[in-house]
Amino acid sequence: MYLLDTNVISERMKVQPSPAVIRWLDKNKEELYLPAVVLDELRYGVMRLPEGRRKEGFTIAIEELAAAYVDKIVPFDAKAAWKSAEFRWQAHSLGFNPSIQDMMVAGIAAGCSAVLATRNVKDFAFLGIEIVNPFE
C-alpha cells in the first residue's frame, strides 16, 4: 500500500509532468491510496488562486481526483492522530519544524502501515516510516 503525498499526486496535474512519476503511478495504480489531508492541501491551494481558467481547471482536476479515489481515501483517524502527535514531538525534539499537515500524513501512513510516496524525503526521513521517492 502506497500513500501519496501532495507533491506526487499533483505532479499528474502538471502540463509537463515528470515521466518517472507518471510511470511509477501507472505501475502501482492498484496499490495507491490518498490521505484525506492531501485533499485538504490541494483544495486549499486551489482556493488561493485568482479566479480564472487555471483555477477552474484545477478545481475540476481535484474533483475528478476525489471521485477516482473515493474508495481509496484514508482518513485522519484516532490511530493517525496518535502517531502524528508522536512525530511532531519527535521532530521538534530533533530541531525540525515540519508542517502539521506533513505530520498528519506521516501519522496516517504509520497508522495503516503504508509506504509514503513523496518527493520531500528529508521532511519525513527522521520519523522511521517507510518512504519511496517516485521522482527518482
Place of cell 502517531: 83
The helix or strand, by DSSP H or E, that contains position 107, with its residue range, turns out to be helix 100-111
Cell of 101: 499537515
- Domains of the chain: total: 1
Give, in degrees to the nearest 5, the angle at Cα 74 between 105 and 113.
65
CATH number at residue 97: 3.40.50.1010
Kindly report the pTM of this predicted structure: 0.92
DSSP 12: G
pLDDT of 107-118, one tens digit each?
Answer: 999 999 999 999
In angstroms, the CA 55 to CA 72 distance is: 25
Range of the domain at 93: 2-132
Cell of 44: 486549499
pLDDT of 14-72, one tens digit each?
Answer: 889 999 999 999 999 999 999 999 999 999 999 999 999 999 999 999 999 999 999 99
